[in-house]
Amino acid sequence: KQEVTQIPAALSVPEGENLVLNCSFTDSAIYNLQWFRQDPGKGLTSLLLIQSSQREQTSGRLNASLDKSSGRSTLYIAASQPGDSATYLCAVKASGSARQLTFGSGTQLTVLP
């Protein structure tokens, strides 16, 4: 059974800092890994999707890497801003016919002005 763990559970940084969020998964047989952002009381916004054959994806100040063999992914946020404050969720889609995503519990990020 796939398990996804995110460390740290919460993180508080001053504005402008670069930061790294970590995600690990127990079963390396995945189709893809996705990072989402969730604002309080809101839905999920997809940030980056990395296919199993890819090593990283970039979008603006965000960069996500994937090391499938070791079961790890990182989300790097450059020059953090208060508007980046949210919960960041990592999710993996298993190989095979299963289509559902398995989520981590998230990292709650606070960027202080």
Binding site for other proteins (CB under 8 A): 4, 6, 31-32, 34, 36, 41-46, 49, 51, 89, 91, 93, 97-106
Q: Of 51 and 81, which CB lies nearer to other proteins in the complex structure?
A: 51
Q: Of 58 and 81, which CB lies nearer to other proteins in the complex structure?
A: 58
Q: Of 54 and 63, which CB lies nearer to other proteins in the complex structure?
A: 54
Report how far residue 50's alpha carbon sits from residue 30's, in angstroms, rounded to the nearest whole number. 10
Q: What is the DSSP letter of 83?
A: G
Cβ 36 to other proteins, closest distance in Å?
8
Cβ 90 to other proteins, closest distance in Å?
9
Q: Of 3 and 15, which CB lies nearer to other proteins in the complex structure?
A: 3
Is 22 strand, coil or helix? strand
Cβ 37 to other proteins, closest distance in Å?
11
Helical ranges in the chain per DSSP H: none
Number of H helices, E strands in the chain: 0, 11
What is the DSSP track for 1-14? ---EEEE-SEEEEE
